[in-house]
Chains A and B, each alone.
Chain A
């Protein structure tokens, strides 16, 4: 990247994670800056979600350090961390029949008694608009479809209004249009100055919206850079073990599996 950033929002150095003597992540160094959308991609079991958990403070690295907003993430109190970063997890169930409006409002809870009601209402309205869930607000969360739940949960995360946003497979349960909408929303957050980290499986989707891509394979950072730098046909073929063709659309790479090569 040619852009010069003064201090990264998140800086991870020498991250190792070992679970039950199995190395899950090894030797990962990565910086995430304000104003950028970073896509974390890689095959199943590569360690993307674990890396996201380490960066968001859920999982402690076996060794290495994560610095968020200038402080070691282990020394940040729960509530302060909730004002620094928000996380959209893959699983979004709600135990009791809260309404969609109540669930989105829960995203404001770290800011209770800090600002005015107006801030809360503005953030909630903005989050509901960006995720296209205004027609659901009076419904019960438990009665929604999988895709609706995913979007409402995203609205809750956006309402949290943090400088760092982590999204773990936000597009997994969504139809084509809402996938694009969610990625466009994530890109808009980055344009507005937030640091956004998204785990996605669809490489073309990542390539279309991300400023930078981090390709994780076998617990290591295989490559970091612009989508065009990372997504070369040779690299994707090697990492995923699948022949692919990379074409360019509007200056962004599109990754297509070469399907004719499969046995019938």
Chain B
């Protein structure tokens, strides 16, 4: 199959997976709901009265207050993380760059945790309301991205060893910061922070979704617009410049984009690692590295993957809601090993 044919096949498969994930996620749970009831309820919300819509207000509120915000949050966070991963790999010219691995996620989590513990005292909560956590997560993520970028790049390329070591250092620092905040915070803050480190979509609210959703959409559109330039960047920074790309502006813009997408994904759901590593990698293997299709497919694939992962997280152990971050790391960790192993076999490892 040509790359174009594979691209079309992949788009159809991903779209089907996405619809299936959304439908399954809205049906399955402590209170089973039929597909007809879901479709009916959505149609009624859109203003079409119909016989399928659930008559039971408990079903109606389960769908609209518990399941839908959680599903939409999963879609947005999955897309944001996958796109952030693809953008990061593009500007680092390296398939191992991923917000979780290089410490951007933990930087953002530290920012968010800081806002929770000290937000009230510092007046952040008063000034920004529910945006306060998101803004601080963005700031933490941005700081971490800048550190990684300027420490690990030399002569327009990133050495893998330096990149990963920088990630270790940032993760260690952010971990210590989180521990300090755990120590300082009251019980409620502690519980919230512990939650972050594990990552969970549990208890997502519409007002949070209204922050995460639009930022994800804007960030994804911005990344797709820049897609052609990311292709040229794969030739190296000098060559990209020779082809008319303003590399400095692209770099800074992309760093802000990565921090924005990661920050907003982390702000309410905590660290969900490896989505940005696995999704773009698999899609690149199927349809090739061209960035516009890659970013579009990554957004859809990330959304579908996280929705499925969340479904598993809340149903695999009856009555318990597993942290989704734990689950993605459980899948992503071995995948990371696989990438390292394959590269070792091919060219003796990453130098």
Known contacts A78-B246, A79-B244; A109/B235 CB under 8 A: no
| Contact flags B267-291 to A (C-beta < 8 A → 1, else 0) | 0000000000000000010001110
Q: What's the minimum C-beta distance from A156 to chain B, rounded to whole angstroms?
A: 8
Once bound together, how far apart are the Cα atoms of A106 and B290, in whole Å?
11
| Contact flags B220-239 to A (C-beta < 8 A → 1, else 0) | 00000000100111111011
Asked if residues A78 and B244 are in contact (CB atoms below 8 Å), the reply is yes
Asked if residues A98 and B288 are in contact (CB atoms below 8 Å), the reply is yes
The residue of chain B having its C-beta at the shortest distance from the C-beta of A111 within the complex is B244
Known contacts A91-B236, A94-B235, A106-B235; A58/B241 CB under 8 A: yes
Given A94-B236, A110-B244, output 20 extra A-B contacts at Cβ < 8 Å. Answer: A56-B242, A58-B238, A58-B241, A58-B242, A79-B244, A86-B242, A89-B242, A93-B236, A95-B93, A95-B94, A95-B233, A96-B234, A96-B289, A97-B289, A98-B234, A102-B231, A106-B231, A106-B232, A109-B244, A156-B235
Q: Which residues of A contact B93 (CB under 8 A)?
A: 95-96
Q: B243 within 8 Å of A by Cβ?
A: yes
Q: Which residues of A contact B243 (CB under 8 A)?
A: 82, 106-107, 109-110, 160
Q: Which residues of B contact A97 (CB under 8 A)?
A: 284, 288-289
Asked if residues A89 and B289 are in contact (CB atoms below 8 Å), the reply is no
8 Å CB interface, A77-95 against B: 78-83, 85-87, 89, 91-95
- Shortest beta-carbon contacts, A-B, top 5: A82-B244, A96-B289, A95-B93, A79-B244, A110-B244
Q: A176 within 8 Å of B by Cβ?
A: no
Number of interface residues of A (CB under 8 A): 30
Once bound together, how far apart are the Cα atoms of A96 and B245, in whole Å?
18
Instruction: Give 11 CB contacts A-B under 8 Å.
Output: A78-B246, A79-B244, A86-B242, A94-B234, A95-B233, A96-B95, A96-B284, A98-B288, A102-B290, A106-B235, A112-B228
8 Å CB interface, B89-115 against A: 93-95
Asked if residues A83 and B244 are in contact (CB atoms below 8 Å), the reply is yes
Asked if residues A109 and B234 are in contact (CB atoms below 8 Å), the reply is no
Once bound together, how far apart are the Cα atoms of A89 and B235, in whole Å?
11
Once bound together, how far apart are the Cα atoms of A82 and B247, in whole Å?
13
Number of interface residues of B (CB under 8 A): 24
Q: A103 within 8 Å of B by Cβ?
A: yes
Once bound together, how far apart are the Cα atoms of A225 and B95, in whole Å?
48
Q: Which residues of B approach A to under 8 Å, CB–CB?
A: 3, 93-95, 157, 228, 231-236, 238-239, 241-246, 284, 288-290
The residue of chain B having its C-beta at the shortest distance from the C-beta of A97 within the complex is B289
| Contact flags A36-61 to B (C-beta < 8 A → 1, else 0) | 00000000000000000000101000
Q: A99 within 8 Å of B by Cβ?
A: yes
Q: Which residues of B contact A83 (CB under 8 A)?
A: 244
Once bound together, how far apart are the Cα atoms of A87 and B289, in whole Å?
24
The residue of chain B having its C-beta at the shortest distance from the C-beta of A160 within the complex is B243
The residue of chain A having its C-beta at the shortest distance from the C-beta of B249 within the complex is A78
Q: What's the minimum C-beta distance from B7 to chain A, rounded to whole angstroms?
A: 13
The residue of chain B having its C-beta at the shortest distance from the C-beta of A95 within the complex is B93
| Contact flags A146-173 to B (C-beta < 8 A → 1, else 0) | 0000000000100010000000000000
Once bound together, how far apart are the Cα atoms of A79 and B234, in whole Å?
18
8 Å CB interface, A5-41 against B: none
Once bound together, how far apart are the Cα atoms of A1 and B3, in whole Å?
52
Once bound together, how far apart are the Cα atoms of A81 and B290, in whole Å?
25
The residue of chain A having its C-beta at the shortest distance from the C-beta of B228 within the complex is A109
Q: Which residues of A contact B241 (CB under 8 A)?
A: 58, 78
Q: What's the minimum C-beta distance from A121 to chain B, rounded to whole angstroms?
A: 17
Q: Which residues of B contact A112 (CB under 8 A)?
A: 228
Asked if residues A98 and B289 are in contact (CB atoms below 8 Å), the reply is yes
Q: Which residues of B contact A99 (CB under 8 A)?
A: 3, 288
Known contacts A102-B290, A106-B231; A81/B244 CB under 8 A: yes
Once bound together, how far apart are the Cα atoms of A86 and B95, in whole Å?
28
Once bound together, how far apart are the Cα atoms of A183 and B289, in whole Å?
32
